[in-house]
Amino acid sequence: MASIQLKQVRKTYGKGAKAVDVIHGIDADIADGEFIVMVGPSGCGKSTLLRMVAGLEEISGGEVVIGERVVNELEPKERDIAMVFQNYALYPHMTVYENMAYGLKIQGLPKAEIEARVQRAAGILELQALLDRTPRQLSGGQRQRVAMGRAIVRKPAVFLFDEPLSNLDAKLRVQMRLEIQKLHASLRTTSLYVTHDQVEAMTLGQRMIVMNKGVAEQIGTPAEVYARP
């Protein structure tokens, strides 16, 4: 596990006359083991910020520090991060087991260790009975659980979630929120979760970063955020 520090993080897309500032110097301290939700309307810069934390997007100014390390200076391989996306990004021709095991195989972990990690994740996410299915044979909620399983097995210091529930229907979203809470209660992995859904943000976030037009307007617990006018 690790803390995440954002220090005057900035992002400008384009150059010269076409340059557009989309993130205007964001500061935030996310504690080790905390679950923090970044919430705000479409286009306010949530995804861009998350991608910068993940090291998938160049940082135009400032620093992202994870644990002791400045993310901007790390190779993608060195980043101890797992990301969960809304489109799941599962391999369609692999089974659930293989989808979860794949990244660990690439890392060269021993077979027994891979099997232990996949079985443990499958237990936490109640996927044991589905390990031999392919993604096509799963419901949307089950696919999203596999996507989370694939993140869990890597035992990363940090989880990043980019609107993971926005493709699910309302009933399933509520159910998956509970699962994500359960997951965090058992693993306590530092998590940064992006959504445009205020209810989701309030339910899941121990604290919230309220974004608007590239600025963090408020940072606090849901009670603190909604106590203000």
Where does this chain bind ligand ADP (CB under 6 A)?
13, 22, 40, 42-48, 97-98, 101, 111, 115, 131-132
CB of 188 to ligand ADP, least distance (A): 26
Which is closer to ligand ADP, CB of 136 or CB of 171? 136
CB of 14 to ligand ADP, least distance (A): 6
Query: What are the angstrom distances between the C-alpha of 162 and each of 50, 51, 194?
Result: 8, 9, 5
Looking at beta carbons only, is 63 or 115 nearer to ligand ADP? 115
Tell me how far, at minimum, the Cβ of 39 lies from ligand ADP, in Å: 9
Smallest separation (angstroms) from ligand ADP to the CB of 132: 5
Give the nearest distance from C-beta 56 to ligand ADP in angstroms.
11
Nearest 5°: CA angle at 11, between 51 and 222?
65
* Residue number with CB closer to ligand ADP (93 or 111): 111
Label residue 6 left, alpha or beta by phi (over 0 means left) and psi (-120 to 50 means alpha): beta
In the complex, minimum distance from the CB of residue 38 to ligand ADP, in angstroms, rounded to a whole number: 8
**Strand arrangement of the beta sheet that strand 35-39 belongs to:** 81-85, 158-162, 190-195, 35-39, 207-212, 215-220
Nearer to ligand ADP, 2 or 64 (CB): 64
Q: Among 150, 188, 214, which Cα is nearest to 6's?
A: 214
Q: Which is nearer to ligand ADP, 17 or 223 (CB)?
A: 17
| Residues 229, 87: Cα–Cα separation, whole Å | 35
Q: Which residue is nearest to ligand ADP (CB)?
A: 47
Percent of the chain that is helix, strand, coil (3-state, to 5): 40, 25, 30
Helix extents (H) in 55-156: 96-107, 111-124, 140-152
Would you say 132 or 169 has its CB closer to ligand ADP?
Answer: 132
Amino acid at 125: L
